C-alpha cells in the first residue's frame, strides 16, 4: 500500500463522510419507524447496522456496550412482529430508546474505528448473512 493511500485509509478526516453517511441512513430509518413510515428496506438497514456494531465490538470497539447492542435485537424483533400482526412498520417508545442508544454506541464505534476495522466488520456481517442464506437453502433442499 502506498504511503498516501495508507494515510488516507487511517485518516479520520477521510473517514468522516463515509461514517456520517452510514449514521444518517440509520437515523433516517429510525425516524421513519417512529413516524409509522418504516419499510422492509429500512428494517434491513437497521438490522445490518446492528450486525456491523456487533462485529465492531468483537474487534474491540466499545466492548463494554455489548449489552446495549444485544438488547436492540429484541427491539428489531418487536418491529417485525408488529408489522406481521398488521400494525405497520413502527416502533414503540421503549424500543425507540433502545435503538437510539444502539445508534449512539455505533456512532462512537465509527469515530474510534479505522477504515480497515469498519471494512472488516462489514465483510464479516456479509459473510454471516450469506452463510445464513446458504444454510437455509441447504435445509430446504434436504426437506
Range of the domain at 136: 13-142
**pLDDT above 90 for 31:** yes
Residue 133, in any domain of the structure: yes
At residue 65, the 3 state secondary structure works out as helix
Rounded Cα gap, residues 80 and 128, in angstroms:
20
What cell does 38 get? 418504516
Q: What is the pLDDT of residue 114?
A: 87
Closest to 118 in 3D by CA, of 69, 64, 61: 61
pTM listed for this prediction: 0.80
Q: How many domains does the chain contain in total?
A: 1
Q: What is the pLDDT of residue 10?
A: 58
Q: Cell 418491529 identifies what position?
A: 79
Alpha helices in the chain (DSSP H): 3-10, 12-34, 40-58, 66-84, 93-112, 115-142
Residue 46, in any domain of the structure: yes
Amino acid at each position: 500500500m502506498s504511503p498516501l493511500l495508507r494515510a488516507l485509509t487511517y485518516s479520520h478526516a477521510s473517514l468522516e463522510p463515509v461514517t456520517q453517511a452510514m449514521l444518517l441512513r440509520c437515523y433516517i430509518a429510525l425516524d421513519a419507524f417512529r413516524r409509522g413510515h418504516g419499510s422492509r428496506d429500512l428494517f434491513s438497514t437497521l438490522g445490518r447496522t446492528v450486525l456491523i456494531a456487533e462485529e465492531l465490538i468483537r474487534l474491540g470497539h466499545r466492548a463494554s456496550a455489548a449489552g446495549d447492542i444485544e438488547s436492540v435485537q429484541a427491539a428489531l424483533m418487536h418491529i417485525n412482529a408488529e408489522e406481521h400482526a398488521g400494525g405497520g412498520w413502527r416502533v414503540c417508545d421503549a424500543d425507540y430508546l433502545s435503538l437510539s442508544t444502539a445508534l449512539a454506541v455505533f456512532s462512537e464505534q465509527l469515530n474510534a474505528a479505522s477504515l480497515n476495522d469498519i471494512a472488516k466488520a462489514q465483510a464479516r456481517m456479509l459473510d454471516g448473512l450469506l452463510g445464513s442464506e446458504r444454510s437455509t437453502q441447504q435445509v430446504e433442499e434436504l426437506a
